[in-house]
């Protein structure tokens, strides 16, 4: 049995990652700001993670935890982000998405078990920003266009530096958009799935979006967490693009979601351009060739199937809100 330490365990990715590790018999320790809320997310699972309250703003607090928990792997999923607001609260983004990673790397570097600990950082395609090529690979220049992307770039660079300078077994997963029924409401896939479901049940009359022709490389969150587990199991750290290699438009997602409930989306979808980010990135499509070849990982679930799964989930959840006849 190995011990895994997961930061940001209460989010979508933390839930799927913890579940996968628990199912294979690992001990999982998760850090969260709200233990009660996190515990509710894991209620009902055959095995439970150990949850610890943690202040991500406390510099150096992770050092004692690494020595106490003695993890074999550390997965950093803690990040501040919203689907629309990559410009929201930049100071908090700089701390949590950037310098907190430095705290973890320093904790590993100064640990007596430095070479025994695998570290996996959840990097982001937002680092590519003003893209220079499509699709993007691990060698594509990083040119972020938001405070979120800039903070992620800083952390990503630190991972590489500590790997080369200090021999830390650190990897960066350059994650492209990845979705599931556990996606928070601020993200467009959730908005689309929930909107289609609730409109079909008569609970809402329309769905407001910022744009329809923005394209992204969308994958399936459980599969992407499997990629992180494979990175932690590799003998050496490295950087990997985790993506499908396929682009889809928001319009495509809308058509699938409303088609799932038998509605003509054009009757219900309204556009409000003020919802678009101040600087919108385009051409975000990843090249997963490296991770496919080196770690035998491949994205297998299409965004159409994911959206249908999300709509079905929202239908079940929203049905209880319907008024009595």
State the catalytic residues.
124, 126, 148
Which residues fall within 8 angstroms of residue 14, CB to CB, at 6 or more apart?
6, 8, 30, 77
CA dist., res. 182 & res. 193, Å (int): 12
> From start to end of the chain, where are the E strands?
3-7, 27-32, 50-53, 73-76, 118-124, 169-175, 178-179, 207-209, 215-216, 219-220, 239-242, 248-249, 269-271
- CA pair distance 42, 29, nearest whole angstrom: 13
| Phi, psi (rounded to 5 degrees) for 184 | -65, 155
Closest CA to 70 of 97, 50, 84, 47: 50
Q: What are the two backbone dihedrals, phi and then psi, of residue 26, each rounded to the nearest 5 degrees?
A: -75, 155
Our separate counts of H helices and E strands in the chain read: 11, 13
Please give the DSSP secondary-structure letter assigned to residue 136. B
- Contact between 78 and 31 (Cβ < 8 Å): yes
Beta bridge mates, 27: 3
Are 47 and 26 in contact by the 8 Å Cβ rule? The answer is: no
**Greatest CA separation found in the chain?**
68
Measure CA of the first residue to CA of the last residue in the chain; give whole Å: 54
Spatial distance between the Cα atoms of 206 and 269, rounded to a whole number of angstroms: 6
Report yes or no: 30 and 50 within 8 Å, Cβ to Cβ.
Answer: yes
C-alpha dist (Å) from residue 5 to 92, 120, 173, 311: 22, 10, 16, 32
């Amino acid at each position: 049995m190995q011990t895994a330490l997961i930061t940001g365990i209460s989010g979508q990715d933390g839930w799927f990652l913890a579940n996968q590790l628990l199912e294979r018999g690992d001990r999982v320790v998760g850090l969260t700001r709200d233990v009660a809320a996190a515990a509710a997310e894991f209620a009902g699972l055959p095995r439970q993670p150990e949850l610890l309250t943690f202040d991500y703003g406390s510099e150096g607090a992770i050092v004692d935890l690494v020595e106490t928990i003695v993890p074999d792997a550390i997965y950093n999923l803690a990040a501040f982000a919203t689907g629309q607001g990559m410009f929201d609260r930049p100071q908090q983004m700089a701390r949590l998405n950037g310098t907190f990673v430095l705290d973890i790397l320093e904790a590993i570097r100064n640990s007596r078990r430095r070479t025994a600990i695998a570290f996996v950082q959840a990097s982001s395609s937002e680092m590519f920003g003003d893209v220079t090529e499509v699709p993007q690979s691990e060698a594509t220049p990083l040119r972020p266009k938001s405070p979120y992307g800039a903070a992620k770039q800083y952390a990503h660079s630190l991972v590489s530096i500590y790997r080369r300078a200090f021999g830390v077994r650190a990897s960066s997963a350059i994650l492209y958009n990845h979705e599931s029924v556990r996606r928070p409401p601020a993200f467009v896939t959730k908005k689309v799935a929930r909107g289609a479901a609730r409109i079909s049940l008569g609970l809402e009359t329309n769905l407001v979006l910022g744009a329809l022709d923005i394209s992204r490389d969308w994958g399936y969150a459980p599969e992407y967490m499997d990629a992180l587990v494979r990175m932690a199991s590799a003998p050496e750290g490295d950087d990997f693009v985790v993506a499908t290699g396929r682009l889809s438009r928001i319009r495509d997602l809308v058509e699938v979601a409303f088609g799932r409930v038998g509605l003509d989306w054009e009757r219900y979808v309204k556009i409000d351009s003020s919802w678009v980010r101040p600087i919108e990135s385009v051409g975000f499509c990843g090249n997963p060739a490296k991770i496919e070849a080196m770690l035998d990982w491949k994205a297998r679930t299409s965004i159409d199937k994911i959206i249908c799964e999300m709509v079905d989930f929202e239908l079940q959840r929203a049905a209880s809100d319907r008024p009595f006849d």
